[in-house]
Structure 1
Amino acid sequence: MNTLFKLFALILLLLTTLTGYAQNNTKENIAKVENGLFAPIQIEGEKNWNILDRMAFYKTPGLSIAVIQNYRLVWAKGYGFANDSSKTPVTTQTLFQAGSISKSLNSVGVLKLAEEKKIDLYADINIYLKSWKFPYDSLSKGKKITMANLLSHTGGINLQGFGGYLPGKPLPTIVQVLNGEKPANSPRIRSAFEPGLRPEYSGGGIIISQQIVMDITGQDYAGYMQQAVLKPLGMNNSTFSQPPAAVYEGKLATGYNIVGNPIPGRYRIFPEQAAAGLWTNPTDLAKFVIGMQLAYEGKSVKVLTQQSARLMFTPYQNKIGIALGAFINVLDSTKYFTHPGSTVGFQSIYYGSLRGGNGVVVMLNSGSQQLATEVVNSVAKVYDFKDLYHPNIKKRISTPAADVLQTYTGQFQLAPNRVLTILFEEGHFYVRMQGEMKRELLAEAPNKFFLRDLPYELEFAKDTDGSVNLVLYADGQKVQTERVK
């Protein structure tokens, strides 16, 4: 008995030690993430930034993170305020608008219907539409649109996204949205080109899938998604209800614009639920990511079978990167499924590796997608998420003399409706892309410059006649411009 007691005590001590180590290690990693933010383009020797400082820089009141490792949520944390005026703090329960991330969950709901043999993903959508029929015309060239086309944005359908509605204003039915009838604030859904020709992002196509789900199930969309997707995944704090039910109101973050002002009405209402209607938080979205990773590996069938999960994350018709409800990023040897989300006042993004069970979710209540990118990079670096962390470090040199920079100034034609203006003002060198703010150019060579927030490089070269030409490098692609002024 004494020997058994000693053995039990030893095991208990070991477990306590390991638990304490894991907790301390997690705390250390959280601190590293919080103090490890950096711009997409780093300058050699530059120190990393603190998350609260970057939130202040981007005028972002609140932010929430969830980190996934080895198929489990290792930590989640909120920062700042869900409502800056009332100083309501962001917690792990605070709900944000997920925007287009809704499309990923919508695809799970549709694939569930396909598993149940209630829909053929490759049949004409008009077979399943009862309340409305797609108005095929000459633009579709006799080809039929399928549900797989809708989910992969290959249906040739118009309308990229939706603007939402102020709380308290009249809301259209989905049929009114599809027909472009008041009070809908978007044009009618129709063909823009023949289906299957090429991928082109279409929220309009996703709304058709929403109507099909309702017509097939006979349920309201939010109710179906709650029962078929959110509840099985354990996403108990999430909802597709529009507007959110009263039970959620106290958890909702207020949206803010890029200068830090609250948007009118706090948030927008989206009857276009499948495209942009999800309210959730990183903790719940982590459950979705993990659930899909386990399904993909054949380790869980909470919502989808392995066959369906693999179909969802296989690029459609060999269209690189575009699958059914998610984008597939092939980063060196590692594949991630991902989707960003953006509505007025909110930004979000998730990543989940298709192997190994790693991932990250970031949501914030401001218009700055760049901050979310910085957080993802910091998490990927701290946790050594293979290939998700890709540093781009530049060695900056002193700015060339003013008389040299003056020869580079002018306007350059980048595309038929795209002009770059190069400026030298008050000792600083700038580029302004048509319709956008000016951005400072930093020198890495006397004739070569880069931006801090975009992966663009600009190189100036003199012709034999002394005139200066400009070449733009965007994501490694060389784009020749023509001086117009």
Structure 2
Amino acid sequence: MRSAIFGLVFIALTGVAFSVQTEEAEPGLTPRVQAAGQAHVPISVDTQMQNLPVPGVSIAFIDGGRIAWTRTYGLADLATGRPVSTDTLFQAASISKPVAAMAALDMVEEGLLSLDAPVNEQLAGWKIPDNALTARTPVTLRHLLSHTGGLTVSGFPGYASGTELPTVEQILNGAAPANTPPVVVDLAPGLRQRYSGGGITVVQLLMTQAAGADFTDLMQTRVLGPLGMSASAYAQPLPEALADHAATGHRADGEATPGRFHTYPELAAAGLWTTPSDLSRFVIGLNDAYTGRSEVVLQQPTARAILTEVRDGWGLGLKVAGQGRDLRYSHSGSNDGFRAMMVGFPERNQGVVIMTNGDLGGVLIASLLQAIAAEYDWPGY
């Protein structure tokens, strides 16, 4: 028997879990960066949430190819006092990207897309504007998924409730009502990694054209449905029927995001609503494909390509580090009022997803990851 973080005690051999809700069982959190020789008194999760402030957090831990435990703290909505539950929906923000990348690579396996042919040869209508840089090295899907295509627009601020939403082509052209500049190449493709949500939006357009389908339906058919992610949807704006299940975003001053949350028509880059348990099913699916235990969406060679470094610590849609048993992948998420993190260890068959509804959630996530890594002997933290 081992005492796991957050007061959850598991019988490892049987997989039976008992919840021990005692303050003593919770190890407490310490700063991610600590000064040598200085004592750092651990504080509780609730205390750090209040100090930041971060209203709510939801966590799911994967071990042995299953969701081993979950934990929730705080409130999904301060105004109503509604607590966070395991069913509470959060904006995955940029964690939308690796989930979309899995679907794109499923289309590569099917022969609908090419990973290394020029993207402009696969696009109809809108194309990446040509210039001297693209003439020398055309942008490919591999470039886009690894953020090495030299494209601009790192991220998106979203649109306040009731605001007119742009089409994908308007976003890429930087045309009204889009609130971001045009997506262009201003760095030689393949030269280095530079994060580009604009590049992933090109992928979104590419996928819908190749599949002849709406992006929301495409993702449901290719990834969300097969992996059993029944609580997840690339739904922007969020349907009214789901609003009561969604967390409200909160900014650094503790105030709610106006209208509760922003809308992100940049679906592949930032548009996924989900839960930690559902994102854990993505982690399990990728871990299983990588090791060959199961190939529900992707075949093993493709999964291994995802977690092979292309450049500067990035694979195809995910950051990668370590090797062998210590190989890990990760992706963070940051939308207005939301912060999230997903980590997987395919050879250890473990991982964790942490989602918060506060702009300062990244600070809390760093402390939680440090505590989890210490408990489960994870390297790199």
TM over 0.5: yes
Amino acid in the other structure paired with 2:138: K
Q: Distance in 2 between matches of 1:278 and 1:80?
A: 22
- Picking from 83, 88, 113, the partner of 2:82 is 88
Q: Deviations over 1:427-476 (max 9, x none)?
A: xxxxxxxxxxxxxxxxxxxxxxxxxxxxxxxxxxxxxxxxxxxxxxxxxx
Greater gyration radius: 1
- 2:64 maps to what in 1? 70
- 1:120 maps to what in 2? 114
C-alpha contact (below 8 Å) 1:333/1:387 kept by paired residues: no
Amino acid in the other structure paired with 2:249: G
Establish whether residue 182 from structure 1 lines up as the match of residue 176 from structure 2: yes
Instruction: Report how far residue 31 of structure 1 moved.
Output: 6.0
Alignment of 1:425-440 (within 5 A): none
C-alpha contact (below 8 Å) 1:130/1:215 kept by paired residues: yes
Q: Distance in 2 between matches of 1:27 and 1:74?
A: 15
Instruction: Report how far residue 249 of structure 1 moved.
Output: 1.4
More divergent stretch after superposition (360-369 vs 122-131)? 122-131
Establish whether residue 251 from structure 1 lines up as the match of residue 258 from structure 2: no
Q: Deviations over 1:305-361 (max 9, x none)?
A: 111111111111xx2410100000228961111000001100000110021111111
Amino acid in the other structure paired with 1:353: F
Establish whether residue 134 from structure 1 lines up as the match of residue 167 from structure 2: no
C-alpha contact (below 8 Å) 2:65/2:350 kept by paired residues: yes
- Picking from 342, 347, 352, the partner of 2:339 is 347
- State the number of aligned residues: 368
Instruction: Report how far residue 228 of structure 1 moved.
Output: 0.8
- 1:385 maps to what in 2? 377
C-alpha contact (below 8 Å) 1:103/1:274 kept by paired residues: yes
- 1:449 maps to what in 2? none
Q: Deviations over 1:206-255 (max 9, x none)?
A: 00000001101111111100111111111100110111223321111100
Q: 1:331 to 1:79 in 2, by over 3 A?
A: farther
Amino acid in the other structure paired with 2:331: H
Instruction: Report how far residue 34 of structure 1 moved.
Output: 4.2
C-alpha contact (below 8 Å) 1:33/1:378 kept by paired residues: no
Q: Deviations over 1:106-144 (max 9, x none)?
A: 110100000101111000111221131111112334321
Instruction: Report how far residue 23 of structure 1 moved.
Output: 2.5
Amino acid in the other structure paired with 2:164: P
Q: 1:21 to 1:204 in 2, by over 3 A?
A: closer
C-alpha contact (below 8 Å) 2:133/2:189 kept by paired residues: no
Alignment of 1:34-73 (within 5 A): 34-42=26-34, 44-73=38-67
Establish whether residue 306 from structure 1 lines up as the match of residue 306 from structure 2: no
- Picking from 375, 393, 402, the partner of 2:368 is 375
Amino acid in the other structure paired with 1:104: P
- Picking from 206, 224, 235, the partner of 1:230 is 224
Q: 1:221 to 1:79 in 2, by over 3 A?
A: same
Instruction: Report how far residue 19 of structure 1 moved.
Output: 9.1
Q: 1:20 to 1:141 in 2, by over 3 A?
A: closer
- 2:186 maps to what in 1? 192
Amino acid in the other structure paired with 2:34: Q
Q: Distance in 2 between matches of 1:190 and 1:350?
A: 29
Amino acid in the other structure paired with 1:381: A
Instruction: Report how far residue 386 of structure 1 moved.
Output: 2.6
Alignment of 1:425-464 (within 5 A): none
Unaligned runs of 5+ residues in structure 2 are 1-10
C-alpha contact (below 8 Å) 2:325/2:347 kept by paired residues: no
Amino acid in the other structure paired with 1:235: M
Q: 1:131 to 1:141 in 2, by over 3 A?
A: closer
Q: Deviations over 1:126-171 (max 9, x none)?
A: 1221131111112334321100000001111111111110121100
Give the superposed CA RMSD.
2.0
Q: 1:331 to 1:216 in 2, by over 3 A?
A: closer
- 2:317 maps to what in 1? 325
Q: 1:300 to 1:46 in 2, by over 3 A?
A: same
TM-score, normalized by length of structure 1? 0.73
Q: Distance in 2 between matches of 1:157 and 1:358?
A: 33
C-alpha contact (below 8 Å) 1:152/1:322 kept by paired residues: yes
TM-score, normalized by length of structure 2? 0.92
More divergent stretch after superposition (34-43 vs 97-106)? 34-43
Q: Distance in 1 between matches of 2:244 and 2:170?
A: 31
Q: Deviations over 1:252-288 (max 9, x none)?
A: 1100011111111111111101111111111111111
Amino acid in the other structure paired with 2:321: N
- 2:205 maps to what in 1? 211
- Picking from 344, 359, 365, the partner of 2:357 is 365
Alignment of 1:159-170 (within 5 A): 159-170=153-164
Question: Taking CA–CA contacts closer than 8 Å with sequence separation of 6 or more, which of the two structures ends up with the larger relative contact order?
Answer: 2
SS in 2 for 1:237: coil
Q: Distance in 1 between matches of 2:214 and 2:159?
A: 19
Spell out structure 1 runs of 4+ moving beyond 4 A. Answer: 17-21, 30-34
C-alpha contact (below 8 Å) 2:324/2:347 kept by paired residues: no
Q: 1:182 to 1:254 in 2, by over 3 A?
A: same
Q: 1:234 to 1:141 in 2, by over 3 A?
A: same
Amino acid in the other structure paired with 1:322: W
SS in 2 for 1:232: coil
Q: 1:241 to 1:18 in 2, by over 3 A?
A: closer
Q: Distance in 1 between matches of 2:180 and 2:268?
A: 16
Q: Distance in 1 between matches of 2:40 and 2:94?
A: 34
Instruction: Report how far residue 33 of structure 1 moved.
Output: 7.6
Q: Distance in 2 between matches of 1:106 and 1:224?
A: 10
Q: 1:146 to 1:33 in 2, by over 3 A?
A: farther
Q: Distance in 1 between matches of 2:150 and 2:315?
A: 15
